[in-house]
Chains A and B, each alone.
Chain A
């Protein structure tokens, strides 16, 4: 089993435990052991870099130092914001030599890129296709996800390791392997409003109403994300967003990509926290899994 340091982050340790659980289970099925970073602390997103540049490096910086101490060469975060702060801290340390010389010894970092930072999506997407395909136990035909990458996993290109900032395909390709049919849509990397969720909820609701409409217009029957902030805005706040635009179409179920993957890898539905979603995913899963059971002859 390949060992990779894993930074869960506050959201996954709190409200978004189902993402954490699904990610660990899916990774294990695919031969990757996620080793939790010891005594990890908050990455600071997004208030850290809004308050103080040095603090915005110190917070994720400690994690980079800890991973080195743990003797692992790669760290992954499932949360897009955590991932973004980790790579950005490395970038700032590379550019600002003065700050680097002050902070790196304190944080236990030997060199800014001593540890490789990858998003969990990238870690899984880098596994050879055939290897994943061979492990798919449940085909999710009938699932038509709009793969939603959000901002921080796709931008800035050159730093995040995804090739096409406007039309990334890593998640789409994974979804296709499960038998799902991801839709072509044009808002994969459009912002969800992120941290304004608590302070300017009005803006976030308007943005999410648009995203959901675009996914629906593209023929999607669910929206799949990699980021707890996106998920919260799309799932938890969807009922509010619907009211703002007087939406009459049925609600759009939202998932984390690792939930879908875990399901396809044969993790029992009950072990995944689908009941914790705000938008009821039951009927869609019944439909998809029912079809799969019929075909698979299980």
Chain B
């Protein structure tokens, strides 16, 4: 049954996200300007203003299982125009990190895989390597030939470097991979 009751809500979650995002979540008065200006609102399951409302209720599960948290690209249009000076962008970041921490099965597996691969590549080398990242993305999302033609084109134009660059500071690599594991 999809009825909200106070017992089903988690107010501590509101406080947690408030702290983690640095935003005053109760300030939202649901004007909807964030949704109106969001360039990808048309692809969301929960609209930005609904995210804010869900947080005010403490609807933790709805939020952590949403597509929204993976699709928000942090363009900050909402942050720039919000009449109450709230950044939904920071809220999305905080929710995404919370979902990772809690091991929630991501609603957008491809996006989650991307972030995972990305972090994997940079903790290994300290730098990103497009070929490696794309290859990993395709392997882990079971789309081996996605963007293959683009890749061929890029290769022919000499834009792809086949070998990754790596930083010299091994101590730092250890430091960041330690931090990543801690998560």
Cβ of B47 under 8 Å from chain A? no
Q: Which of A155, A237, A275 contacts B157 (CB 8 A)?
A: A275
- Contact B71–A200 (Cβ < 8 Å): yes
- Which chain B residue lies CB-closest to A95? B22
Contacts A39-B169, A41-B169; A59 near B40 (Cβ below 8 A)? no
Q: Count how many chain A residues have C-beta atoms less than 8 Å from C-beta atoms of the other chain.
A: 52
- Contact A151–B76 (Cβ < 8 Å): yes
Contacts A15-B159, A195-B73, A198-B133; A42 near B96 (Cβ below 8 A)? no
A236 to B127, CA, bound (A): 22
A165 to B80, CA, bound (A): 8
Other CB < 8 Å A-B pairs besides A10-B128, A191-B75, A278-B153, 9 of them?
A: A10-B130, A16-B159, A51-B183, A53-B93, A191-B39, A191-B40, A194-B74, A196-B40, A198-B114
Q: Which of B74, B110, B150 contacts A199 (CB 8 A)?
A: B110
A40 to B128, CA, bound (A): 12
Nearest chain B CB to A151's CB is how many angstroms away? 4
Nearest chain B CB to A218's CB is how many angstroms away? 18
Task: Please give, as numbers and ranges, the residues of chain A lying within 8 Å of B128 by CB-CB distance.
Answer: 10-11, 14, 42
State the B residues within 8 Å of A (CB).
Answer: 20, 22, 39-40, 43, 71, 73-77, 79-80, 87, 93, 96-97, 100, 108, 110-111, 113-116, 118-119, 122, 126-130, 133-134, 137, 141, 146-147, 150, 153-154, 157-161, 165, 167-169, 172, 175-176, 179-180, 183
- Contact A193–B114 (Cβ < 8 Å): no
Task: Please give, as numbers and ranges, the residues of chain A lying within 8 Å of B43 by CB-CB distance.
Answer: 200, 203
Task: Please give, as numbers and ranges, the residues of chain B lying within 8 Å of A54 by CB-CB distance.
Answer: 179
- Contact B39–A276 (Cβ < 8 Å): no
Task: Please give, as numbers and ranges, the residues of chain A lying within 8 Å of B77 by CB-CB distance.
Answer: 151, 155, 189-191
Nearest chain B CB to A43's CB is how many angstroms away? 9
- Contact A196–B71 (Cβ < 8 Å): yes
